[in-house]
């Protein structure tokens, strides 16, 4: 594959067409660097603080220890992960065009707010007697492996993790069954977080397009696809391991915990099964998070938080 053909493939649109002539207005101003982010799309900071006096039950999701363990495992991983995203983007902010720099600032504030609320959520999990410190330590150990790596490599890791976050968020917002029966305050935390994950899902990728603008299309594609494949196995493997550990704290045998968790993830409700093809898109030439336009999901779930919405500066 020569550089020009790989250049075109890396910037291909949702239907496999190279951006440029004949592209609809939604994407026109982004054609030069391959972004599919809608021209008029903006990030909004929703400074939402959930009820600190509310005490969710131990099995806050439908009185189901398996569902609760999965979401608790994900939540416990978020504070350190989101700090990594912020630190990674900090390495690029001085070289960004003004609009992208403003979006990075809004993204950073969103992630700080997510961290604040999930730290509070994780305290409730700990108050029920669960030990989540090992989960936090495991995330830190994984992130320690990025020390000394090129900043573009860490940006590729962030792309992969943000892709996962956007996929999970889309599932939560599209299909209310995923949070049916959950404690109301806990469910609201996840829906609010999911809304902002959808909203900023393309930001890190657009920073990547700018930061690697001098790379060949083949180098750019190879790096992001390889990192995505590697980090997928690591991240989801650790989330499953940690959810099983939480179930063992509830008295499940390791074998039973593993069987029940796999059934939850792959059979019913089967979020992992439903997300597989969407995840695989990151391995394809022409990938961009906004190849799927999810803005309707943001509008649908924005109204409950209208009093707390502040436009990004």
> Which 8-state DSSP code applies to residue 17?
P
Q: How far is CA 98 from CA 16, 31, 32, 93, 288, in A?
A: 30, 18, 17, 10, 21
- DSSP lists the bridge partners of residue 44 as 311
Contact by Cβ (8 Å): 153, 227: yes
Q: How far apart are CA 10 and CA 4, in angstroms?
A: 10
Mark 7-19 as b/e (b = at least 16 C-beta within 10 Å).
bbbbbbbbeeebb
**Assigned token pair, 306:** 């209208």
User: How much is the pLDDT for 11?
Assistant: 52
Residues 6+ positions from 53 with CB-CB distance below 8 Å: none
- pLDDT per residue rounded down to tens, the chain (313 residues): 444 444 444 553 333 333 333 333 333 334 346 799 999 999 999 999 999 999 999 999 999 999 999 999 999 999 999 999 999 999 999 999 999 999 999 999 999 999 999 999 999 999 999 999 888 888 888 888 888 899 999 999 999 999 999 999 999 999 988 999 999 999 999 999 999 999 999 999 999 999 999 999 999 999 999 999 999 888 899 999 999 999 999 999 999 999 999 999 999 999 999 999 999 999 999 999 999 999 999 988 666 554 444 444 4
CA atoms within 13 A on the CB side of 135: 30
User: How much is the pLDDT for 25?
Assistant: 33
**Assigned token pair, 279:** 């995840």
Residue 73: strand, helix, or coil: helix
Name the residue among 128, 164, 163 with its Cα closest to residue 249: 128
Q: How far apart are CA 245 and CA 254, in angstroms?
A: 8
User: How much is the pLDDT for 300?
Assistant: 80
Q: How far apart are CA 241 and CA 141, in angstroms?
A: 15
Q: How far apart are CA 60 and CA 185, in angstroms?
A: 10
Per this entry, what is the length of the chain? 313
User: How much is the pLDDT for 30?
Assistant: 43
Name the residue among 289, 132, 145, 283 with its Cα closest to residue 222: 283
Name the residue among 173, 24, 177, 200 with its Cα closest to residue 110: 200
- Beta strand 309-311 pairing with 44-46: antiparallel
Task: Give the global pTM.
Answer: 0.86
């Amino acid at each position: 594959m020569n550089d020009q053909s790989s250049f075109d493939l890396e910037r291909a649109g949702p239907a496999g067409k190279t951006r440029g002539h004949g592209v609809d207005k939604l994407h026109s101003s982004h054609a030069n660097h391959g972004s599919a982010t809608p021209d008029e799309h903006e990030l909004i900071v929703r400074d939402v603080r959930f009820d600190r006096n509310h005490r969710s039950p131990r099995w806050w999701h439908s009185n189901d220890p398996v569902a609760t363990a999965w979401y608790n495992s994900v939540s416990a991983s978020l504070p350190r992960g989101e700090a990594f995203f912020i630190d990674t983007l900090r390495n690029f902010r001085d070289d960004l065009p003004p609009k992208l720099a403003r979006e990075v600032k809004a993204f950073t504030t969103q992630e700080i707010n997510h961290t604040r609320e999930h730290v509070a959520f994780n305290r409730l999990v700990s108050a029920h007697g669960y030990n989540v410190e090992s989960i936090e330590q495991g995330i830190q150990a994984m992130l320690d492996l990025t020390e000394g790596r090129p900043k573009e490599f860490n940006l590729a890791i962030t792309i992969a993790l943000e892709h996962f976050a956007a996929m999970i968020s889309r599932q939560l917002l599209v299909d209310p069954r995923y949070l049916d029966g959950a404690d109301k305050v806990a469910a609201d935390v996840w829906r609010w977080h999911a809304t902002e994950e959808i909203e900023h899902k393309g930001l890190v990728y657009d920073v990547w397009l700018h930061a690697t603008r001098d790379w060949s299309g083949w180098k750019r594609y190879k790096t992001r696809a390889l990192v995505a494949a590697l980090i997928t196995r690591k991240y989801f493997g650790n989330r499953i391991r940690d959810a099983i550990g939480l179930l063992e704290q509830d008295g499940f045998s390791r074998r039973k915990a593993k069987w029940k968790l796999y059934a939850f993830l792959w059979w019913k409700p089967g979020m992992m099964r439903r997300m597989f093809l969407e995840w695989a898109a990151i391995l394809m030439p022409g990938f961009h998070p906004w190849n799927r336009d999810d803005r309707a999901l943001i509008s649908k779930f924005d109204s409950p938080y209208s009093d707390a919405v502040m436009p990004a500066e």
